[in-house]
């Protein structure tokens, strides 16, 4: 594991000899017709542009976008910004870098969070749903991915472990709200909460950076999650068909409206509650993160483009 100097620490004039993520790479051509590379190098603290003038073919072959790269370069300035003039660049296996240098992560203990979630499904009364979750938790790859996946690329819980943090928070809320109203099928609500975003395990990649996968962009996490659920459902003996439809409906409708990507809107009380609980937890987290990062003086954050308002900071 190499030591690491961060993008935010670079100063013009420095010599660089360190590992970064090769976030972007474009081939351009010099006047003499020879190729050169424009690259973007990144880590947890930001990104910086660079150029590769020489040995382009060898370096092109050495690493692809999304790879970690060991970079030797000189820090200069171009048109008012820092620019690395890269002398050499070589791929570095992912297991030789500290992922935490490149991806932010939850500050909470993921093992404890996973234990808590499993303890909650362990108390389910419904035998079919209980059996279903037993299967999910026995799937080591699934559990391991679930302990790493972020909940989004940018909007909320956009960090390693974010999906688990978001899911557990929702599960706790679901127990509260579900018990507040009579006639709510609490096992169904809890099952919907835990599974609503499992498609994100494959919609997103989160090895060296958080980004969409091809299947993520082509299919959406709702559709991917439904296929993951279908796979497990087939292994539960005698899972009642109607219950399967109602459970899938939780995933199908959890965005609340067609305009937000749900093929059908919520039509059961459990699906209605799932949608609200998801909205509350996402909104609270996204506001908190926005306020935490805001650096404006005074009582107000800068303008939040998505929410179309300034937020009061107190």
Is 169 near a second copy (CB under 8 A)? yes
Long-range contacts of 292-299 (CB under 8 A, 24+ apart): none
By C-beta, is 138 or 296 nearer to a second copy?
A: 296
Nearest CA to 248 out of 169, 238, 147, 234 is that of 234
Candidate list 6, 17, 26, 96; residue touching a second copy; CB under 8 A: 26
How many residues are there in the chain?
314
CB 162 within 8 A of CB 152: yes
Residue 75 or 219 having the CB closest to a second copy = 219
Compare residues 26 and 111 and give the one whose CB is closer to a second copy: 26
Q: Is 30 in the site for a second copy (CB under 8 A)?
A: no
Check residue 105 for interaction with a second copy (CB under 8 A): no
Nearer Cβ to a second copy (121/285): 285
Does 155 contact a second copy by CB under 8 A? no
307 binds a second copy (CB under 8 A): yes
Nearest residue (CB) to a second copy, 74 versus 220: 220
Calculated CA dihedral for residues 82, 205, 173, 108, nearest 10 degrees: -60
Pick the binder of a second copy from 63, 189, 198, 223 (CB under 8 A).
223
Q: Does 235 bind a second copy (CB under 8 A)?
A: no
Size of the residue set binding a second copy (CB under 8 A):
69
Return the number of the residue (71 or 247) whose C-beta is nearest a second copy: 247
Q: Are the C-beta atoms of residues 193 and 221 closer than 8 Å to each other? A: no
Query: Which residues lie below 8 Å from residue 24, measured CB to CB, with a gap of 6+?
Result: 38, 39, 40, 65
245 counts as binding a second copy under rule CB under 8 A: yes
Contact between 40 and a second copy (CB under 8 A)?
Answer: no
Which residues are CB-neighbours of 218 under 8 A, at least 6 positions away?
A: none
Torsion of CA 219, 245, 162, 288, to 10 degrees: 100
Q: Is 121 in the site for a second copy (CB under 8 A)?
A: no
Rounded CA gap, 117 and 187, in Å?
13
Task: Determine, following the binding rule CB under 8 A, whether residue 263 of this chain makes contact with a second copy.
Answer: yes
For a second copy, the binding residue among 227, 235, 240, 303 (CB under 8 A) is 227
Q: Is 15 buried (19+), middle (13-18) or exposed (0-12) by CB count in 10 A?
A: exposed
Tokens of 159: 């960090």
Round to whole Å and give the CA distance between 286 and 300. 16
Query: Does 44 help bind a second copy (rule: CB under 8 A)?
Result: no
Q: SS3 for 157?
A: coil
Residues forming the site for a second copy (CB under 8 A): 9, 24-26, 31, 64-65, 77-81, 169, 172-173, 176-177, 180-181, 214-215, 217-220, 222-223, 226-227, 230, 242, 245-246, 248-249, 252, 258-265, 267-269, 272-273, 276, 279-280, 283-284, 287-288, 295-300, 307-312, 314
């Amino acid at each position: 594991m190499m030591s690491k100097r961060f993008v935010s620490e670079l100063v013009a004039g420095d010599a660089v000899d360190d590992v970064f993520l090769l976030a972007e790479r474009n081939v351009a051509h010099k006047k003499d017709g020879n190729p050169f590379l424009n690259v973007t190098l990144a880590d947890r603290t930001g990104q910086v542009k660079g150029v590769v003038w020489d040995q382009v073919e060898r370096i092109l072959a050495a690493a692809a976008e999304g790879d970690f790269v060991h970079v030797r370069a000189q820090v200069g300035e171009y048109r008012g910004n820092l620019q690395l003039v890269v002398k050499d660049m070589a791929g570095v296996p992912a297991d030789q870098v500290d992922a935490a240098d490149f991806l932010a992560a939850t500050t909470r203990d993921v093992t404890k969070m996973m234990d808590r979630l499993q303890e909650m499904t362990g108390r389910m009364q419904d035998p079919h749903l209980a059996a279903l979750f037993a299967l999910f938790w026995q799937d080591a790859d699934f559990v391991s991915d679930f302990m790493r996946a972020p909940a989004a690329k940018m909007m909320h819980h956009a960090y390693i472990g974010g999906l688990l943090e978001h899911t557990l928070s929702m599960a706790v809320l679901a127990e509260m709200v579900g018990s507040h109203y009579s006639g709510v099928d609490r096992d169904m609500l809890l099952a919907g909460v835990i599974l609503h975003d499992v498609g994100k395990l494959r919609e997103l990649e989160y090895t060296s950076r958080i980004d969409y996968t091809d299947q993520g962009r082509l299919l959406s996490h709702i559709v991917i999650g439904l296929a993951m659920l279908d796979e497990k459902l087939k292994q539960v003996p005698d899972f009642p068909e109607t219950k399967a439809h109602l459970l899938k409906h939780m995933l199908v409708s959890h965005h609340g409206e067609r305009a937000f990507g749900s093929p059908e809107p919520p039509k059961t009380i459990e699906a209605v509650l799932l949608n609200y609980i998801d909205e509350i937890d996402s909104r609270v987290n996204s506001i908190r993160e926005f306020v935490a990062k805001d650096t404006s003086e005074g009582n107000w954050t800068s303008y939040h483009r998505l929410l179309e308002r300034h937020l009061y900071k107190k």
